[in-house]
Structures are given as C-alpha cells and as structure tokens.
Amino acid sequence: MAATYFTEDHEWIRVEGDTAIVGITDYAQEQLGDLVFVELPEVGRTLARGDAAVVVESVKAASDVYAPCDGEILAVNEALSGDPALVNSAATGDGWLWKMKLADASQLDGLMDAAAYEKHIG
C-alpha cells in the first residue's frame, strides 16, 4: 500500500515498496503561480537527499525542487515538457515530477505525514 510523506520544503513523496514518486504540494504550486517551464533530470541520475533535482519556473521566478531521499531516478514526467501547467492543475496527481528507486527507506522516518504537513503550512 502506498504511503505519502511530505518535506518541509513542500515536496511530497508517495512510496510503494522501494520505489517512490515525487512532486510538489498543492500549497507549493499555489505559492509559485503559473508554471511555464519544468527542467527535468536525466533518468538514471543518482540523487542524494537535498540535491536539487528539478527546476520549476513560473512566469516570474525559478525554484529548485529537492530530492526528499537518496536514490536513482527511474522515470520523469515527460508530459510536463509540453504542459508545465499540469503541476498547477494537478500537483499531487498528473503533475508528478519524477519516479525514483529508494536507496535508504529509513530516511522516510524523518518526513512528515499529511496531518503534520497541514500543520506545517498552517
């Protein structure tokens, strides 16, 4: 069964077994405003927790999205190349950013659950 965790930097990570899908939260997309460009990483790249993995660009500014955990990128959401606004319209669904293989599932313990994240964004 999938479990979803959240970071203080407004990423979500949905974990199923040793793979996970990562995106930014609805709160984050709302703060950013309309996205016009998403720079996706290369499949196969190895990420360390805290690495800038993706750059999302709104009309006004560019922001980094960080890896919530160590691991290897298995897939990226190619649909965002043609339609970056998917992140705005479906941040936690079709607007996902990348899929990864987790190197150390124990890192998830430091992340927030939905209730804690709700509290975090106030």
Partner 1 sequence: MTGPDELKSLPLRDLPLRDMHETAGARFGGFAGWSMPITYPLGVMKEHLHCREQAGLFDISHMKLFRLAGPQAEAALARACPIAPAAIAQNRSKYTLLLDDRAGILDDLIVTRLGPDAFMVVANAGNAEADEAELRARAQGLDVAIEPLDRVFLALQGLGAEAAAIRAGLPVEGLVFMQGIEPREHWFLSRSGYTGEDGFEIGLPEADARALAGTLLADPTVAWIGLAARDSLRLEAGLCLHGQDITSEANPVEAGLMWAIPKAVRERGGFVGAEALAAAMAAAPARRRVGLKPEGRQPVRAGAVILDDDGAAAGIVTSGGFGPSANHPVAMGYVRADRADDAFHTEIRGNRIALAVHPLPFTPHRYRRG
Residues forming contacts to partner 1 in the complex (CB under 8 A) are 9-11, 24, 28, 31-34, 36-37, 39, 55-66, 84-85, 88
Residue 86: CB minimum distance to partner 1, A: 14
In the bound state with partner 1, the residue whose beta carbon lies nearer, of 1 and 122, is 122
Q: Which is nearer to partner 1, 1 or 82 (CB)?
A: 82
Shortest Å distance, C-beta 117 to partner 1? 13
How many Å from the N-terminal Cα to the C-terminal Cα in the chain? Answer: 28
What is the rounded distance in angstroms from the CA atom of residue 104 to the CA atom of residue 89? 31
> Considering only CA atoms, which of 68, 65, 67 is closest in space to residue 109?
68
